[in-house]
Amino acid sequence: MAEALRAAGFPLLASKLSGESIEEDRSEANPTNWGPDDARIIFTAYFEGTANVVERRTTQIGLFHELDRGIDVGSDATSAAQAARTARENGRRSKPLRFKMGVDGCGHEHGLAGVVFAFGLRGQCERLAACVRAVRGVLGEPKTQLNIVGLSRGAVAALAVAEMLGATPQLFVGESAELPSL
């Protein structure tokens, strides 16, 4: 599993799981493409499974959220903006500045309709998009790398949030892809 995480671009998470120590290697960055080295903010969202809760750590999504060293923005735009203001006022100058957000399963938040029909997933995506906008707004709209980690419905959520934030399909799934409507 650690090798798969490393291959997917998560060397720190891979090192945590394997128990080895590692420093982030930025020497392989390609300066002609926009990438993680150019981001001033890294915002990572973790979408828990259908009826799971991030804080209970019942799946690997909860574990990934727990291991993430980013500043937890809470679950709404107001708390996200406050987290960004606090980071700015406390002089957090790590580059890039890292934020994280955990999203409980839509079945946990919306009961049977969430479990069966994914009711509430769009609202969760809108809440995440609002949190990203709030953090960026407080910090002056810097270049932002958005990572979304989730399984099944989390993948659908990733596409929906990217669309809500104005990403085009070419930016994240290839030139010929079309986004699903939610």
Q: How far from the centroid of its chain's Cα atoms is residue 44's Cα?
A: 2
CA atoms of 128 and 16, how far apart (whole Å): 26
pLDDT band at residue 28 under the 50/70/90 scheme: very low
pLDDT band at residue 2 under the 50/70/90 scheme: low
pLDDT band at residue 175 under the 50/70/90 scheme: very low
How many angstroms separate the most distant Cα atoms in the chain? 49
Compute the average pLDDT of residues 81-92: 88
CA atoms of 57 and 181, how far apart (whole Å): 31
DSSP single-letter state for residue 102: E
CA atoms of 105 and 121, how far apart (whole Å): 8
CA atoms of 103 and 142, how far apart (whole Å): 24
DSSP single-letter state for residue 38: G
